[in-house]
Structure 1
Amino acid sequence: MTEETKSLRAAMPHGPGTHRAAVLHGPKDLRVEERPVPVPGPGEVLVRIAAVGLCGSDLHYYAHGENGPNVLRAPTVLGHEPSGVVVAAGPGAGHHEPGTPVAVEPAHPCGRCALCRAGRYNLCPRGTCFGSPPTDGALTEYLVAPEGFVHPLPASMDVRHGALIEPLAVAVHAVRRSGIAPGDRVLVTGAGPIGLLVLQVALASGAASVTVSDVAGARLRHAAELGAGTVGAAELTPEPARATALADPDGFDVALDCSGNGGALVGAIRALRPGGTAVVVGNPSAPVTELPLAWMQRQEMSLVTAFRYAGDFPAAIALAGTGRIRLEPLVTASFPLDRADAALTAALTDRSQLKVLVEPGLATASGALSGTRQEGQDRG
């Protein structure tokens, strides 16, 4: 343990060597507990968490105790979209000075398998991810992370908005996989946080126009404000003749489904021009049995999938740093750590919410919350 870490642990506000963490014990059983402050090991840094964005996987674990095949079997700290400030370093870690604001990449590969060596570490079969049981996540005051997965933020960026770099990296990776070229006409189905970030990254990549569809009018208003050329209600029951009322007469060049809805995905595919590309970004909530493969073959369309990111954090941070990607409009509510259960409930039940943040440093006294950082306030 370094002298700096010893001093840090002795100065903890909640007792010597302790900090708070929101621990999920079972469905809707979230408890804020005190735990020992983690100590950074070789090649690791200690990050004081500023904000954590809540994601769909967090909501599945909170509501049901599982997310797809992964099941909560022991108490686990959720959260995989953290930002914060480096406060200490373990042996051999010295690239980030204390006080450096950072976004933390949560998925950590083995680094040895063939996929990792090929640069596709997002597909590593032996990797772990913060907040994916049994690996503890970032709904906590302090977090230890490998230094190579801790990315400095520009001085111009609010460190809290660094919590959106993880979903932005998802969008960057998806657009990179799509092959969007300057002048392309793009369709994005699903105007949640990922869809709104894909919209912006597509425009930054040279798309001539981006059309966005969703079932929620409030989300479509966000899409229009963020640059969508056309917005409209999604068709969740695909029809071979006309998949969406938004369809470009000549068909879209690229369609990215960020909804996870099978009907929306098929509708997006039907809206493509011959030779177009469809990208599966949102996790399908059920098997997509109506996928028109024979029709796609006759049209020689490409179907591409995208999972997480691989080396996309620096590009995401650079884009956000230029101001070409607007992160703040996506943050619709903030909660203190001891109200993490309320944050999860709001994100789970309130369709008007986009990105809900948990901020461990946010004051908890009712009179201390004000303005745009008020607990649970809708900022959309």
Structure 2
Amino acid sequence: MERRTFLRGAVIGSSAAAFGGTLMHGAAYAAPAQNGPGPYGALGAADANGIRLPSGFTSRVIARSTQVVPGTSYTWHNAPDGGACFADGTGWIYVSNSEINPGGGAGAVKFNSSGTVTGAHRVLSGTRQNCAGGATPWNTWLSCEEVSLGYVYETDPWGVNAATRRDAMGRFKHEAAAADPGRQAVYLTEDEGDGCFYRFRPTTWGNLSAGTLQVLVAGSGTSGSFTWANVPDPDGSPTATRNQVSGAKRFNGGEGCHYAGDTVWFTTKGDNRVWQLNLTNSTYELAYDDHLVNPGPAPLTGVDNVTGSSSGDLFVAEDGGTMEICVITPDDIVAPFLRINGQSGSEITGPAFSPNGSRLYFSSQRGTSGSSSGGITYEVTGPFRT
């Protein structure tokens, strides 16, 4: 079976300009990723933060829920969830959602060029259960409400400009978003057991105030071709957006979403799958399915948030499972990259790389306490592949 090939590129700020993998042109569908040795080697013993990492990697705690972020006067939010990094001069900003209801919103931490925390601030308030989202090429953060008839809010990572609700992007149980500059579209997942996969095509690229919401239409299989159909009534009332178009493909609990190199990947937690849309030829397939791993057991369960590195590796966080972030390589190997010990009542959220790709940020949403007030946000530094 021929395998995927991945282009190489650089992640530039928050522009999602990483290049990822696409199916070989004209090739048969590739088999989903299989268990094997990871590119970073075995996990070592747990460090002082309870994190098991490969050799050469280290972790530190950046922030804890209900506590002031060290070096700032800002109190970190409860239940940290989806996140992204944005270039800020020679430093960067990590934005993180808060998955509580009511309250929600999002906060951010600023770093200088050496990785020292220089500030923290709020970027969104007064919303509901902000779960995941996505960065735009024009350096804004899309924060998504994971509630029935939820909205997408476009926010300023620097906290200077007021957040704006983007009604045209539809009202449904939003999860994640991923921008595609080439096709001038934003892809959206829906966290419902019979949810759909959407794209929003703004009337003017860079302005999300108006545009067309579309839903993916395909057969019932795990591979094949797809098309897009307009959603007649994006406000989802009285008929839910997922029930407005005949033939809309159903997905079992849409979660993370990542775009790179004419490909979009998204995860579904209800069946522990990673899906791959090959946008050049309008086909879809499975990049990972925990029931198709041979030899077992599957290393990746509780499939949730996803991001990518400039090497073409996908990093997939677990909601539960064994509290791991696993890597899926361009040659279709899946293996643990890190594991958090002693936090089985939590989930890993918000994985995102710094602009130069040397640091990975993520959170344990409920930490050691199992409560939304126990969230911990981490940074891992080391020799990531480029």
Q: TM-score by structure 2 length?
A: 0.28
Q: TM-score by structure 1 length?
A: 0.28
Question: Of Structure 1 and Structure 2, which has the larger fraction of its residues in strand?
Answer: 2
Question: Of Structure 1 and Structure 2, which has the larger fraction of its residues in helix?
Answer: 1
